[in-house]
Amino acid sequence: MKILSIFTKQKKFEEQLLNGEMEYSSYYKDSFKRLKKNKAALFCLGVILFLVLLALFAPVVSPYDPTYQDYASVLAPPSSKHLLGADEYGRDILSRLIYGTRVSLSIGILAQILASVIGITLGAIAGYFGGAVDTLISRIMEIFAAFPDLLFAMAIMTFMGQGLQNLFIALGLLTWVRTARLIRGSVMQLKEKEYVEASKASGGTSFRIITKHLIPNCLSTVIVLVTLGIPNAIMYEASLSFLGLGIQPPTPSWGNMISSAQSFISFLPVYSIVPGIAIMVTVVAFNIFGDGLRDALDPKLRA
Amino acid sequence: MFQYISKRLFQTLLVLFGISLITFILLQVVPGDPVELMLEKRADAQTIARVRHELGLDVSLPQQYLNFLKGAIHLDFGKSYFTKEVVITALVRCFMVTVKLASMSFLFAVVLGVACGMAAAINRGKWIDSVLMTISIVGVSAPSFWIAIILQIIFGLKLDLLPISGFEGPVFFILPSIALGTRYAGSIARITRTSMLDVIKQDYIRTARAKGVKEGLVIMKHALKNAMIPIITLVGTELGNMLTGSMLIERVFSIPGIGKLAVDSMSNRDLPLLEGTVMYIAFVFVIVNLLVDISYAFIDPRIRYGKGAN
C-alpha cells in the first residue's frame, strides 16, 4: 500500500513537471527566494544601491565641486547655500561627503577583489595539493594573521607611501587570510567528491579541476566574504585616513574629513558628525545585507 | 596538555620570527635614506659614513637582519633618532598607559556586552531585544574615533562634565575607555545573545526548569556558564585588537600611549623607534593570543584533542 502511494506521488510529480505546473529551481534561484524574504537585508541592499548611484553620479548630484574653496563661507554653519555647512577652506561639506562615497566604496570593493584573488589562489592551492605546499602557505597565513591589523596597514602605508593605489594593496594584503582559510577548508572537503574523481579519471589536469570544479563550488562562500569584507575595508580606510596615512586632502574621504573636523568641534560640530554617520550607515548596510546573503546562500557559514 | 602547549609555543616562535622578517623587509623599502634624513642633508660624506657605521648600516643586509634579530631578542632596539631616548624605555613607559586604557575599556565592554546580550536573549523577540540589538549593530559599525569625538562634543563641550584630552587622572580615563570599548561591547553583546539562545534550547535547561529551579538561577548557573566559551573566544581575540585599536583613541584624546608612539615614529621615520614599536606591539598581540589559546585548552578539553591537534 505504502509503496503504491510513493509511486502515485512520483507520477503526480512527473505530471506536474511535464505540464509546467512545477519547475526545477536552481541553487541560486533558491537562495534568491530566501533572500527576498529577508526584509532588512533587502532594505540594506537598497541603501547600498543608493550609495553606489551616489558615487557614480557624484558630479551631477553634489551642489559644488568638492575642492572649490569659497573663502566667504569658511566654517559656515548649515544654511540654504551650504546644506551641511562649509569646512575650514570654505569647501561645501555635503559635496565632500558625496565624493567621499566614491573613495570609500571603490576602496572597499577593490581591496576585497585583491584579497579574494590572493585568498582564492593560495587557499585553493594549499587545500588541493596539501603536504609541504599546504604547510608553507598555512605558515604564511599564520604570520599575516598574527600581525595586528591596523598596525600592519599603517606600516605598509608608511613604507609604500600614501595614495589610493597603495591603500588598495595594504587593505587587500590585510584581509586575504580569511578568504584563503575558508577556501582551503572547502577545497579540502570538495576534492574528495566523486565529480573530482571523474574529472581526474577523464584526464583533467589539476589546473582544470581547481578552476572548473572546485572554485565555482566555493563561489557562494566568496560572495559572502566579499560582502562582509567591504565594510571592514571601509572602516580601515577611514581609520588610516583619520591617522593621516590614507587618503590625503584635498581629496575628500570620510576618514580625513573627521580628522580635519577635529579642530573645529566647538565651532562646527556638524562637520565631525556627518562623515561618521555616513561611515556608519554604509557599514551597517553592508553588514546586514552580508548577513542576509550568508543566511540565504550558505547557512553553514553562520557563526 | 604539555604537548599542545609546546606545539603552540613553537608556532608562536615561528610567527614572531616571520614578523621580525617582514618588519625588517618593510623597513628596507622605506623611501629616503634614514641617515640623510637624520642629519638633514647638512653633513659631509665623511660624517655620513661615520654615522652609518655607528648605526650598523654599513654591513650587508642579511648581516643587518641578524644584528636586528640579536638586538630584538635582548630587547635592545637602539636609541630613537630624534629624542635619543632608549627605545625600550619609551616603549615600556607608553605601553603602561595603553594597558591602563585598554583594561578599563575591556572591563566596560565585557560587563556591558554580556549584560545586554543576556537581556536580549532572555527577552527574545520583544522590543528590548530589538532595541538592544539595533544599538549593538550601530556600536559595531561606528568608527571608534568618531564615537570618541561625539563623546567629546556631548560630555566635554556641551555638558562640560569631563575633560576631553590628556591623561592625568582617573577622570581622564572615562571617555577614552567608553569610546574604545563601545565597538567591542557591541560584538560581545551579539555573540552573547546568539550563544545564550543556543544554550537555552538545550534539554538540560528544560530539565532544570522542570525541576523547579528558579528562572534567575537557570540563566546564571546553567545557561550563562555553558554559553561562555564562544564569548571567551571572542573576548580573547578582541583583547589583542583593543591594544592596537587604542591607537585611534589615543590620537583623539592625545594620550601618550604606545599607539601615539607608533603613529609619531611613522610620521617622523624614526626607524629604531618604529622597529621597536612594531615588534613590541606584534609581540604583545601574539603572546596575548597564545595565552588565550592555552586558557581555552584548560576551559574546554575538546580543543586540546580536536582543533588543537590539527
Which pLDDT belongs to residue B309?
39
Confidence of residue A98 (pLDDT cuts 50, 70, 90): very high
Summary mean pLDDT of chain A = 84
Confidence of residue A282 (pLDDT cuts 50, 70, 90): very high
Q: What single string gives the DSSP state of each residue in A35-77?
A: HHH-HHHHHHHHHHHHHHHHHHTHHHHSSS-TT---GGGTTPP
Instruction: Look at the pTM and tell me if it is higher than 0.90.
Output: no
Residues facing A92 on adjacent strands: A86
**Closest chain A residue to B239, measured at CA:** A148
Interface probe with A: pick from B141, B193, B267, B278, most Cβ of A within 10 Å: B141
Which pLDDT belongs to residue B308?
40
Which pLDDT belongs to residue A303?
44
List of chain A residues whose C-beta atoms are within 8 Å of the C-beta of residue B19: 143, 146-147
ipTM comes to: 0.81
Which pLDDT belongs to residue B116?
93
Please say if the pLDDT value at position B155 is more than 50: yes
Beta carbons of B145 and A242 less than 8 Å apart: yes
Q: How far is A18 from chain B (nearest CA, A)?
A: 44
Please say if the pLDDT value at position A1 is more than 60: no
Residue with cell 594573521: A145
Domains, in order of start, for chain B? 91-263+281-299 (1.10.3720.10)
More confident residue, B40 or B124: B124
pLDDT digits (tens, 9 = 90+) for B205-235: 888 888 888 888 888 777 887 788 778 778 8
Which pLDDT belongs to residue B31?
60
Smallest Cβ–Cβ distance between A142 and the set B11, B244, B251 belongs to B11
Which pLDDT belongs to residue A101?
92
List of chain A residues whose C-beta atoms are within 8 Å of the C-beta of residue B241: 148-149
- Rounded-to-integer distance, Cα B102 and Cα B269, Å: 26
Q: Report helix, strand and coil shares of chain B as percent, to nearest 5.
A: 80, 0, 20
For B217, the grid coordinates are 538561577
pLDDT digits (tens, 9 = 90+) for B82-96: 777 888 888 888 888
- Rounded-to-integer distance, Cα B265 and Cα B92, Å: 15
Beta carbons of A158 and B30 less than 8 Å apart: yes
Sign of CA dihedral B62, B64, B70, B74: negative
pLDDT digits (tens, 9 = 90+) for A8-24: 877 877 777 777 666 66
List of chain B residues whose C-beta atoms are within 8 Å of the C-beta of residue A261: 149
Smallest Cβ–Cβ distance between A265 and the set B149, B274, B278 belongs to B149
Smallest Cβ–Cβ distance between A154 and the set B30, B262, B269 belongs to B262
Please say if the pLDDT value at position B37 is more than 70: no
Which pLDDT belongs to residue A285?
92
Domain segments of chain A as ranges: 34-71+99-301
pLDDT digits (tens, 9 = 90+) for B161-191: 777 777 777 778 888 999 999 989 998 998 8
Interface probe with A: pick from B30, B147, B149, most Cβ of A within 10 Å: B149
Smallest Cβ–Cβ distance between A280 and the set B141, B274, B281 belongs to B141
Omega within 30 of 0 (cis) for the link into A250:
yes
Contact A221, A298 (CB under 8 A): yes
Confidence of residue A80 (pLDDT cuts 50, 70, 90): confident
Beta carbons of A159 and B142 less than 8 Å apart: no
Share of chain A above pLDDT 90, in %: 18
- Rounded-to-integer distance, Cα A133 and Cα A153, Å: 27
**Closest chain A residue to B137, measured at CA:** A284
CATH topology of domain A34-71+99-301: MetI-like fold (1.10.3720)
Count of all residues that appear for chain B in the document: 310
Beta carbons of A258 and B143 less than 8 Å apart: yes
Which pLDDT belongs to residue A48?
93
Beta carbons of B19 and A147 less than 8 Å apart: yes
